Amino acid sequence: MEDVSLTLSQIAGQEGISSANAGKLMWILTKAGLVQSTRGIKGGYVLARPAADIRLNQVIRVLEGEPAESHCKSYAGVLDACIHTGDCGIRPVIVELHQIVDNALAEITLSQLLGTEANVDAALHQIQGVKRVDQSPIGA
């Protein structure tokens, strides 16, 4: 399954996104070395390494950038930059929370995400420090 090459339209269809957005994502992932692209009639995209060797935190970091930096840029208010860049009381909290999440995501490989939701959920909750929260279906 890891050597299966997919076209942009296949990726877009399977993920419910536009081909343009799929193209942007694949460009970013290819540039980062996580995906390889092949041109031509039998071309497409394939993982650059086995799914078992790619950690979820690597993918997230490539797509979102560094957490604290992106957080501070995302919540600048009406200004171009946050006015608390020199001395911020919330930054240590944000950085620590992102580190906890990053550590948990570092324990998950892409191959672990290929199973059913129940199997992925069970594997996730075997990671030290991740607590199971009972989630009832919405409206139940």
Residue 1 resides in a domain: yes
Q: What is the pLDDT of residue 118?
A: 87
d(CA 82, CA 73): 7
* Per-residue pLDDT at 80 exceeds 60: yes
pLDDT tops 70 at residue 75: no
| pLDDT value of position 45 | 96
Q: Does residue 140 form part of some domain? A: no
19 and 84 assigned to the same domain:
no
Q: Give the count of domains, the chain.
A: 2
Mark whether 35 and 101 lie in a shared domain. no
